[in-house]
């Protein structure tokens, strides 16, 4: 039992809190009553010192918590509930942020890093911006403070001991120093490489929204109502890119790991990040409009502040327990909702009050925008993004309305829409249409002088090509006997227009300076993403549909969804163009590439270890010899499914898995995906015989055989070929003086022959029998007794339920457009940022070039 490390960590948290408080106050004093850039040197020194202390304390806390997980210190609740002895080191990193406290810590850590960057790169703004930074840090650290004042619990400490968390457990009454031998483990769903990089990316995105917010508030405070925009833009750019990529990483993880059949489920937890991202991107457009064209400053202020408040609201939604039944994967409720509400309320009220008090003095553009100014269309595009965010927000907040009404005594029974996809698609589709159209339009207009003639000249080619393309697609769909609804036609048309217009812009900029095209590249990515979503979601095709041909009298005559198919082991079934065969269960073993057939593994008492029944080899390399003990990962059972194209004869193999996952309610299926250039084949198990349960065997029937005899077993015939001495019997540990014999029985299955080797052992006059099973056939053979005089052998044969899986398989066309669009979008953000930095390094550029440089950024607005 190591109490030191926890105490150290806890002291670290308290110091971090106190230092953040001192830093916030001193930075405030340093900047108070002075113009921007003029600071009180003494207060500033103190503030900087306090923030450095804060940063060091946070590092100490991070180190202490990681040590608790890494050294398996199960006396701490955090290690016990999030880790286990079998966890590889890289997943210990995921343990760190599986819990609420660790993920707050991650967020706090990023704020420290960003705070140091602001101190280094934005010196003039340091005092007011860092005052806000430190105040936010104070609130965040208070969430993991774990201090009880009177009856009020402030924060939940990650360093709480198991015995303090579960006080009532009798174990601790008997032995207060009891330490469990193993932890309960990381949710196996999170044992995935995406879960190592997705949360830090997302929280970096969260943290990045604080920077523009702090600049905006500092600008309002110091009455520098315009100067804050310039330093805020690069941070907003990074934030938009990081948060966008982070969201899509989560989507990709869900696609690979969860079994709802796609990458986006409109789960409140997903929405909670999607909403602020949309507003963040809208705010970026606002900022660029002001920076380049001196319009939209009030919009920028409002959106930058809203983005940060929405991030706080997202935190409240996912961590307060208010979602309850509405979400499958929000954090558990730690009883901190009050604290979260105060946090949310304080920042909302203060920020809005400050904004309103300065509203009249925020400069506005004197002239009204005309149709021929791209600014107007950028502005419209940003508005559309906000409206799209508003729809998701209005619906996702339904559980909050219930809670609010409950507070005032009204019982509300409102629930989320029964068909969420239809509900959200209704508005998000049109948002996509508008985004695609305005991004294409504004990109083209941004780079040229606009009047009626030039506009017609430059818009005609992409518009015509888009129409041509749409017509072609519709013809192709018809040819393949598919239909397309009117809204899809509009989305297809506008998305194609967006792609072509942005592509055209990139082409034009090639001749000027390719570096300018960051905005166009990002918008091209968005257009491709929309096309990918349209194709993969709108035309996803369930290929496992209705193939069994079974007729079963039902309550209904109407056509129903029959999306799942039953596959018997080793029996091919037809699914549209494929012959599909399920051929057995497999395990994964660390260090061995691919999967190992369960029939090659003899289980031991330790479920993480197995004995090889035969050589385990992949690609000619033998990893384990017969009789070796090897480590396996028992949580995941993989079901080998062979797909054979009926026309081309080409084959591929997928291994969808079922995972024993007590946290998620028991057995959980994850898909396996075969990626082709034009489509994915996505399939997952819907139901299996539970791999955790012992199978039930029939009462054995006895057969008396001589060598060479043939019998029928469970519809298969078997030849009793020989009796031989048994040498290596897996799991038996033969000793000197033991007599061990094994029968060699050849069983002919549908596809191949199997050797069964039931063993008969005599040790110290005691008889032991080791039956052998042919998993594929559901047959178990025991060598019961031997009559040496007559040369007769008695065998017991039992049978079991034949193995099967129920599979759902879907074809997702052109989903690669979505992923490649995401990459392009990220690249676009990155290019814009680099271009911006280069410009700042070079100092003032010639006037004409300077506007050009600025423009690509603005394009990323629309």
Partner 1 sequence: MKKAHIFAIAIIAIAAAIILSTTADASVYVGFGEARQRAAEGNTTKVHVVGKLPRDTQNKPVGLQYDPMLDPNYFAFTLVDTNKVAQRVVYNNPKPQDFDKSEQVVITGCMKGDIFMADNILLKCPSKYVKKDLNAADGATAAR
Task: Report the alpha-carbon distance of residue 652 to residue 674 in Å, rounded.
Answer: 8
Told to check if 564 binds partner 1 by CB under 8 A, we report yes
Told to check if 167 binds partner 1 by CB under 8 A, we report no
Helices 420-446 and 847-859: angle between axes, nearest 10 degrees: 170
| Least distance (Å) between residue 793 CB and partner 1 | 35
Comparing CB distances to partner 1, the nearer of 550 and 766 is 550
| Least distance (Å) between residue 446 CB and partner 1 | 20
Task: Report the alpha-carbon distance of residue 456 to residue 468 in Å, rounded.
Answer: 18
Told to check if 554 binds partner 1 by CB under 8 A, we report yes
Q: Three-class SS of residue 732?
A: coil
Told to check if 662 binds partner 1 by CB under 8 A, we report yes
Residues 591-630 binding partner 1 (CB under 8 A) are none
Burial bucket for residue 240 (CB in 10 Å: 0-12, 13-18, 19+): buried
Comparing CB distances to partner 1, the nearer of 299 and 858 is 299
| Least distance (Å) between residue 705 CB and partner 1 | 32
Q: Which residue from 280, 668, 681, 756 is in contact with partner 1, where contact means CB under 8 A?
A: 668
What's the gap between Cα 227 and its chain centre?
38
Told to check if 325 binds partner 1 by CB under 8 A, we report yes
DSSP 583-652: EEEEEE-TTSSS-EEGGGEEE-SSTTEEEESS-EEETTEEEE-TT-EEE-EEEEEEEEEEEEETTT--EE
Told to check if 410 binds partner 1 by CB under 8 A, we report no
Comparing CB distances to partner 1, the nearer of 434 and 473 is 434
DSSP 35-64: -TT---HHHHHHHHHHHHHHHHHHHHHHHH
Helices 486-512 and 452-479: angle between axes, nearest 10 degrees: 130
Told to check if 419 binds partner 1 by CB under 8 A, we report yes
Task: Report the alpha-carbon distance of residue 414 to residue 397 in Å, rounded.
Answer: 11
Task: Report the alpha-carbon distance of residue 312 to residue 279 in Å, rounded.
Answer: 13
Comparing CB distances to partner 1, the nearer of 274 and 814 is 274
Number of neighbouring beta carbons within 10 Å of residue 66: 17
Q: Which residue from 89, 408, 410, 414 is in contact with partner 1, where contact means CB under 8 A?
A: 414
| Least distance (Å) between residue 411 CB and partner 1 | 10
| Least distance (Å) between residue 373 CB and partner 1 | 12
Comparing CB distances to partner 1, the nearer of 499 and 658 is 658
Q: Which residue from 42, 88, 417, 678 is in contact with partner 1, where contact means CB under 8 A?
A: 417
Q: Which residue from 573, 664, 723, 786 is in contact with partner 1, where contact means CB under 8 A?
A: 664
Comparing CB distances to partner 1, the nearer of 458 and 659 is 659
In sign, the C-alpha dihedral spanning 673, 674, 680, 685 is negative
The answer to whether 179 touches 1, Cβ cutoff 8 Å, is yes
Told to check if 332 binds partner 1 by CB under 8 A, we report yes
Told to check if 557 binds partner 1 by CB under 8 A, we report no
Told to check if 555 binds partner 1 by CB under 8 A, we report yes
Q: Which residue from 563, 631, 738, 792 is in contact with partner 1, where contact means CB under 8 A?
A: 563
Residues 776-815 binding partner 1 (CB under 8 A) are 804, 806
Told to check if 395 binds partner 1 by CB under 8 A, we report yes
The candidate with the shortest Cα–Cα distance to 836, out of 516, 524, 526, 520, is 516
Q: Which residue from 56, 60, 66, 184 is in contact with partner 1, where contact means CB under 8 A?
A: 184
Told to check if 394 binds partner 1 by CB under 8 A, we report yes
DSSP 671-708: -EEEE-SSEEEEEEEEEE--TTSPPPBPPPEEEEE-TT
Q: Which residue from 560, 766, 844, 847 is in contact with partner 1, where contact means CB under 8 A?
A: 560
Binding residues with partner 1: total (CB under 8 A)? 64
Residue with tokens 């061995």: 592
Q: Which residue ranges make up the site for partner 1 (CB under 8 A)?
A: 81, 166, 169-171, 174-175, 178, 180-182, 184, 325, 328, 332, 368-369, 380, 383, 387, 390-391, 394-395, 398, 413-419, 422-423, 426-427, 548, 550, 552, 554-556, 560-566, 658, 662-669, 686-688, 690, 804, 806
């Amino acid at each position: 039992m190591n109490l030191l490390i926890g105490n150290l960590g806890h002291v670290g948290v308290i110091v971090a809190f106190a230092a953040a408080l001192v830093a916030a106050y001193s930075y405030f004093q340093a900047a108070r009553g002075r113009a921007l850039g003029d600071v009180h040197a003494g207060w500033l020194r103190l503030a900087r010192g306090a923030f450095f202390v804060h940063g060091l304390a946070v590092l100490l806390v991070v180190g202490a918590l990681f040590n608790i997980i890494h050294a398996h210190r199960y006396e701490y609740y955090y290690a016990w509930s999030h880790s286990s002895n079998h966890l590889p080191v890289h997943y210990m990193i995921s343990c760190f942020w599986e819990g609420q406290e660790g993920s707050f810590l991650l967020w706090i850590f990023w704020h420290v890093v960003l705070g140091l960057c602001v101190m280094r790169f934005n010196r003039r703004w340091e005092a007011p911006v860092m005052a806000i930074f430190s105040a936010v840090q104070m609130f965040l650290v208070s969430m993991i403070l774990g201090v009880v004042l009177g009856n009020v619990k402030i924060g939940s400490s990650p360093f709480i001991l198991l015995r303090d968390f579960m006080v009532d457990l009798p174990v601790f009454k008997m032995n207060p120093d009891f330490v469990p031998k193993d932890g309960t483990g990381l949710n196996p769903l999170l044992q995935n490489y995406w879960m190592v990089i997705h949360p830090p990316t997302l929280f970096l995105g969260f943290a990045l929204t604080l920077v523009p917010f702090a600049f905006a508030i500092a600008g309002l405070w110091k009455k520098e109502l315009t100067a804050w925009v310039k330093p805020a833009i690069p941070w907003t750019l990074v934030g938009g890119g990081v948060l966008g990529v982070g969201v899509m990483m989560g989507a990709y993880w869900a696609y690979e790991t969860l079994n709802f059949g796609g990458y986006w489920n409109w789960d409140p937890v997903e929405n909670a990040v999607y909403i602020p991202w949309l507003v963040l991107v809208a705010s970026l457009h606002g900022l660029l409009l002001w920076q380049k064209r001196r319009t939209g400053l009030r919009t920028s202020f409002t959106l930058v502040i809203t983005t940060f408040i929405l991030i706080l609201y997202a935190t409240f939604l996912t961590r307060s327990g208010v979602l309850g039944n509405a979400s499958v994967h929000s954090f558990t409720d730690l009883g901190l909702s009050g604290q979260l509400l105060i946090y949310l309320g304080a920042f909302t009220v203060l920020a809005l009050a400050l904004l309103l008090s300065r509203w009249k003095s925020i400069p506005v553009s004197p002239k009204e925008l005309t149709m021929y100014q791209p600014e107007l269309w950028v502005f419209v595009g940003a508005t559309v993004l906000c409206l799209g965010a508003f729809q998701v927000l209005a619906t996702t907040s339904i559980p909050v309305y219930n809670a609010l009404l409950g507070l005032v005594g009204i019982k509300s029974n409102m629930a989320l829409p029964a068909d969420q996809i239809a509900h959200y698609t209704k508005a998000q589709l049109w948002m996509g249409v508008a985004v695609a159209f305005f991004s294409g339009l504004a990109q083209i207009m941004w780079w040229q002088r606009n009047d009626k003639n030039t506009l017609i000249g430059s818009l005609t080619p992409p518009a015509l090509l888009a129409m041509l393309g749409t017509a072609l697609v519709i013809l192709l769909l018809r040819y393949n006997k598919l239909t397309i609804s009117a809204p899809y036609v509009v989305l297809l048309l506008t998305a194609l227009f967006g792609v072509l217009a942005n592509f055209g812009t990139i082409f034009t900029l090639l001749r000027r300076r390719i570096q300018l095209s960051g905005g166009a590249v990002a918008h091209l990515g968005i257009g491709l993403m929309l096309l990918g979503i349209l194709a993969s979601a709108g035309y996803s095709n369930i290929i496992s549909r209705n193939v069994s041909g079974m007729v079963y009298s039902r309550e209904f005559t109407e056509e129903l969804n029959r999306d799942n198919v039953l596959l018997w082991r080793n029996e091919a079934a037809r699914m549209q163009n494929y012959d599909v065969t399920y051929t057995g269960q497999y395990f994964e073993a660390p260090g061995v590439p691919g999967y190992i057939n369960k029939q090659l593994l003899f289980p031991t008492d330790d479920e993480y270890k197995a004995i090889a029944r035969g050589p385990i080899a992949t690609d000619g390399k033998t990893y384990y010899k017969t009789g070796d003990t090897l480590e396996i990962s028992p949580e995941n059972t993989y079901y080998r499914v062979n797909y054979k194209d009926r026309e081309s004869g080409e084959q591929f193999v997928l291994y969808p898995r079922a995972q024993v996952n007590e946290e998620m309610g028991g057995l959980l299926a994850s898909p396996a995906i075969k990626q082709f250039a034009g489509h994915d084949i996505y399939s997952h198990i819907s139901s299996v015989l539970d791999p955790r349960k012992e199978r039930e065997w029939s009462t054995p029937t006895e057969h008396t055989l001589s060598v060479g005899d043939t019998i029928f077993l469970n519809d298969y015939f078997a030849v009793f070929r020989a009796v031989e001495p048994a040498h290596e019997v897996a799991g038996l540990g033969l000793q000197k003086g033991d007599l061990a014999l094994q029968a060699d029985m050849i069983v002919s299955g549908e596809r191949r022959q199997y050797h069964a080797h039931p063993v008969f052992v005599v040790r110290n006059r005691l008889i032991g029998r080791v039956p052998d099973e042919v998993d594929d056939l559901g047959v178990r053979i025991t060598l019961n007794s031997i009559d040496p005089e007559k040369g007769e052998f008695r065998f017991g044969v039992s049978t079991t339920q034949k193995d099967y899986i129920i599979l759902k398989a879907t074809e997702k066309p052109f989903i690669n457009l979505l992923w490649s669009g995401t990459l392009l979008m990220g690249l676009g953000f990155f290019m814009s940022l680099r271009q911006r930095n280069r410009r700042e390094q070079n100092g003032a550029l010639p006037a004409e070039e300077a506007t050009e440089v600025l423009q690509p950024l603005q394009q990323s607005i629309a």
